[in-house]
Every structure is written in structure tokens, then in C-alpha cells.
Chains A and B, each alone.
Chain A
Amino acid sequence: MGVQPAIGGCPENRPPSARHFRSAWHLVGFIRRGAGRGMGGCPGNRPVGLTQRRKGRQGPLSSSERLCVLASLRELFIRQGASARMALWTLALASLLLAGCASAAVPAVAPLAGRSAAGQTLTVFAAASLAEAFTEIGRGFEAAHPGTQVIFNFAGSQQLAQQLAQGAPADVFASADAQQMAAAVKVGRVRERESQSFARNRLVVIFPPDNPARLFALEDLARPELRLVIAAPQVPAGKYALSFLARASKDPGLGPRFGERVLDNVVSHEENVRAVLSKVALGEADAGIVYVSDISAARPARIGRLEIPDAWNPVAEYPIAAIADSRRRELAQAFVEFVLSAKGRAVLAQHGFMVE
């Protein structure tokens, strides 16, 4: 670069402050016209740079100083131009890489997108606990109905019901409890008679593989200093957990005020049941209460489990229904029937749900 020697005379490499930069901007044209071209460099050892011009010493620049300033500016612009181009390239490369990773991880993305243009998409709102089972059922459904793409929205049922109430477009709703399905019925998104139960689930107490709180029986849940995580009371899994504790408290075998003492140990109310599982699997919590299906054989998470006797264990009923105002009612009904079919039930059973 021709300006290099000139820069050598300006030891001040700090980028100019914003104040300089604003006025410097007006110099671009000046520099571009070549005013700084062919300069011999800044005078010898005199350190003259942009930031050397202080408020207190304002005055006309000497011609050599001016040349030096111009040279630094040109260098600055060249450098900035180069780094901006580099940044753009880096960005483009990063985006490409990300896109590449995504399509490598989900090889089905491209063909599906292609198909959906010609075929139809079905949007299914399903409880977080159904994530793996429904993903597999969705694949089966897509195979049985060529040209159809199933899109899932997995979240806490209460969140899905709220989204439905706010008018979120959907074709099928599968809830982890009757209450949230009733909420969808109440706002007119689901017809009451169309809601059918398709699976049941039970609760289980889980703990990290190394069992830091040395949890060996349900009584231990009430031991002080244990850190328990459950789902928030508005989440079905949280509601069932509270009902388990209420039932267990009636049993004198677990000691007085069992439920209260256990609730004292709760350190977090998670937004959905899978967040409980994550916190326990990470070892952050000593114990958590989740669905049996969350730690089924199909999800070989390394995690300890403590069974809850049937007498105390509430049964979670999972209702499913086609959305009343769905634009693909027939397809939505077909999906509901597919879930209820022998094939669908087999998948659910494989994932730890109870089915008839």
C-alpha cells in the first residue's frame, strides 16, 4: 500500500474518536480526489496523528500535518472497507455453514419443503411430554399420506391452550390434561364431543444418576435440604405432582405434613415437564417429578427413578381433537384417527404411555 510509509510517521494507531470521525467523513471526497496522493510522509520524528490534535492546540494545520492526517484517514477507510468486506464474507460463510449443518442434521427438510409446496401441511399442537412419540407418529402419518407434512408445536399444554385462545392457527390439539382441552373448548376452538382420550400417563420421581441427595424412598423427598424441581402449578405435570403430594399426605406412613414438607423443598417451578427432566439430568436438582413416558425405554436418559405407588399416582388423561375451524378438517380427523389406531397406540406404548 502506497500510504504505508506515511502511516509510519504517525505512531498514533488508536482509532480516532467519534468526534473526529464525524468531521472526517467530510474528507472522504477530498481524499478520493487524490489530495493525499504522492505525499512523502509525515515529517520525521514529529508524532502527528489524528488524536494528537487536542482541543487546546487548535489552529491551522501545517501542510505536512494535513498530509499526515489525510494519509491516516485514507488508511483508515481502506482498512475499514477491507474489514467490512471481510465481515460480510464471514457472515455469508457462517450462514452457509449453519444452513449446511441444519440440512445435514435433518435430511428430510429439503424434500419435505418441496412436497409441502404441492401437498398440504398439518399443524399439530401437542403437549411437551408427547414430543418424541408424536414426532414418530407424525413420520408414520406422512408415510401413510404422501404429500402431507406434519408440523408440531410442542409446549406445555397450558401454553398451547393459551395460544389457541389467542387465535393461533392449528389443525389438531393434543393436551396432557382435560382441563386445558376444556379451555380450548371454552374458547370455541374445539368441539366438546370431538375430544377423545388417546393415552394415559403416570408420574415418577427422578434423580440424577449419582443420586447426590441419596434418595431411596418417597419419604426422603421430605428430607430438609433436598432440592426438588417440579413443573409449575399451571402446567399439567405440575398439577398432577401437587395431586400426588396431596394424596400421599393422607397416608400416615410418610410422616406428618408430608406434602407440605416436600413443597418446602421445591426450588423451581419449571415451565414444562421437559425442563424438569433437563434440570435433574444435568444434576442441578436432587429430584424431580415427571411422567413415566419422559424416561421411557425409547429415551435412554441416564437417570434414576423412584416409582410412585398406584394409590397415590394420579392418572394423566391425554385428550386429542381436531380443531373446529381447521382448514384441513379431514386431514386433521385422519391424524386423530391415526393416533388412535393400533399403529399409533403401539408407538405411544413404546414411549411409555399407557394405552388400551
Chain B
Amino acid sequence: MAQFALARPRRPASAETTRRAFDAWKLLSLPLFAFIALPLLALFLRASPPRLAANLADPQVQQAVALSLQTGLITTAITVLLGTPVAYILARRRFALKRAVDALVDLPTVLPPAVAGVALLMAFGRRGLLGGPLTGLGLHLAFTTAAVVMAQTFVAAPFYVRAALIGFGSIEDELEQAAALDGANGWQVFRRVTVPLAWPALLSGAVMTWARALGEFGATIIFAGNFPGRTQTMPLAIYMGFELELDVALTLSVILVACSFLVLILVKSLLGREPEAERDW
């Protein structure tokens, strides 16, 4: 950064103005923060601990939690396995239509998940582009746990690819080149230099993908259907439970919120983002 120091306008600011500006910012940030925190708080207040405990024993709740954890982990594993090469290529190579590929990878994050569900049906459904031949081979995807994983991967993978791309992009080419000069082969460079350096980005990307997979609803209900223990993940159980047993919906919602919150805190502390923000003040 030193090379740009010449242009940085340095205006001496007294501690007093800084503090006042901080107070104003604090005040301005309150509405949105309250708007996000309040509904989540209400969720916890509405679900009383004894009822929560009782609902946890409900087999439907347990099935949904187990299925969500299981499919979420499989989704994350598949994403890391298949997403890493995509991110690496996008970060390192230049090729025709790169921008289009880049946009395509990001597309599922902005699409309504219902669109993802319909698209998956058109591709892998029994009458779908690929689904037809697959059915001929005796492979049924719709209404199976595999379909849940596919829906989750489609929707959640871009979060990992995006994070990994940024991680790889922040590594200096020269470090890899130096390792290669020292005799490391391509895999060794990747394994010993690239991955360790990009590790925080890769980890946070994987965790975000897992969290997004956990919350996947629209694509799942359209592509995988809704069957307890097989395709009914937590969000589906919450949606169906909302109409019949609000308690079940509440319990699962609380679990989901708590899980996601803990995970996000974990990732943020792993990455040590907080201190940097504090330093700015």
C-alpha cells in the first residue's frame, strides 16, 4: 500500500470529532440491526424451553434435523471437491467467455430457489434432458435424498466457489512460481502453497455453503418433494409444520437460527475479521 501513500489526504482529526461521528453512526445503524434482531428474538421468546425439549423428542423433528445435517455435509463435501477446480481456473486462467462462466457460476445465488427447482426438474426429472436416459438406466432421482443434495448443491455451491476464487486470487503468482522453481510439482504447489494460503477463504466459503444448504427450501420442495425422513429437511418441516403444528415449526426454527448463528460466529472468529474492523475506529 505504501506506493499509494502519496495520494492519501491526511487531515488531522481530533479525537472528539471522531468520537462524535462514531456516536452518530451508532445511532444510524440501530434501526436495521433492531429489525434483524427483533424477529429472531421473538422466535426464541415464543418457544419456551420445556416445550422445546419436548419437541426435540418428536421423531419428525429428529428426522428433519438428522436429514438436514446429513445432506448439508454431503453437499459441502461435493461442493469443495468439485468447486475448487472451478474457482482455481477462474482465478488463475484467462479464457474465452470467462466473464460468462463467472456470471453463470454466480447465477444460482440471485435466482429464486423455485426457479432452481423447476430447472433441476427439467434437467434431471424423469422427462428431463438427462433424467430421461438416467431413468432408462433405472436411476430415479426425483423424490430421493440424492435430489435434496442436488438441490442444495445447485443453490449453495456458488458461495464456496466465490469465496475460493477470491482466496486464490489474493495469492501472489510469484509464491507459486517460486515453489515450482524449487522443484515442486503442480499438485505439491497447490497442496503446500496455494491451499494453506487460501485456507481462511476456503473454510469460510465451505461453511457458508453448508449454512446455505441447511436453509435450502424452494428448490428442494419442487425437485425432491416432501417426505419425512427422506426429503423433508428442516426448512420443509418448518413450512409444513407451520400449518399444523406450530410448535414443531418453532422448535426447528430455533435450532436452525442457533446453528447458523454459532457457525457464523465461529467462521468470523476463525478468520479474525473483527479485530480489523475495530482497528479502523
Q: Which residues in A have some Cβ–Cβ distance to B below 8 Å?
A: 14, 17-19, 23-24, 26-27, 29-30, 53-56, 58-61, 69, 156, 158-159, 162, 212, 227, 229, 232-234, 266-271, 279, 282-285
CB under 8 Å from chain A, chain B span 1-40? 1-4, 6-9
CB proximity of B196 to chain A, nearest CB, Å: 17
Q: Does the CB pair B7–A29 fall under 8 Å?
A: yes
User: Counting CB contacts under 8 A, is B199 at the interface?
Assistant: no
Q: Assess whether A60 is in contact with B3, with CB atoms less than 8 Å apart.
A: yes
A268 touches which of B3, B6, B7, B227 (Cβ 8 Å): B227
B267 close to A (CB within 8 Å): no
Bin chain B's interface residue count. 20 to 34
16 contacts between A and B (CB under 8 A): A14-B94, A18-B166, A19-B170, A23-B8, A27-B7, A53-B3, A54-B172, A156-B243, A234-B240, A267-B142, A267-B227, A268-B224, A271-B221, A283-B125, A284-B121, A285-B143
Q: With A17-B170, A19-B1, A271-B221 in contact, is A284–B125 under 8 Å at CB?
A: yes
Given contacts A159-B243, A234-B243, A283-B126, contact A268 B226 (CB under 8 A): yes
Q: In the complex, A285 Cα to B140 Cα: how many Å? A: 10
Q: Does B261 contact A (CB under 8 A)?
A: no
Confirm or deny: B44 has a beta carbon within 8 angstroms of a beta carbon on chain A.
no
What's the Cα separation between A54 and B226 when bound, in Å? 53
Chain B residues, Cβ within 8 Å of A282: 121, 125-127
Report chain A residues within 8 Å CB of B2.
58-59
Bound-state Cα–Cα, A162 to B243, Å: 6
**Is B7's CB under 8 angstroms from A30's CB?**
yes
Question: A19 vs B2: C-alpha distance in the bound complex, in angstroms?
Answer: 12
A269 CB contact (under 8 Å) in B7, B94, B126, B240:
B240
Cα distance, A156 to B226, chains bound together (Å): 15
User: What is the chain A residue whose CB lies nearest that of B135?
Assistant: A212
Minimum distance in angstroms from B190 CB to a CB of chain A: 20
Whether B3 pairs with A283 at a CB distance below 8 angstroms is no
CA separation between A158 and B242, bound complex, in Å? Answer: 10
- Do the beta carbons of B8 and A26 come within 8 Å of each other? yes
Contact A54 B143 (CB under 8 A): no
Interchain nearest-CB distance for A92 vs B (Å): 17
Q: CA–CA, A29 to B11, complex, Å?
A: 15
Which of A54, A158, A229, A285 is close to B243, meaning CB atoms less than 8 Å apart? A158
Residues in B neighbouring A285, C-beta threshold 8 A: 142-143
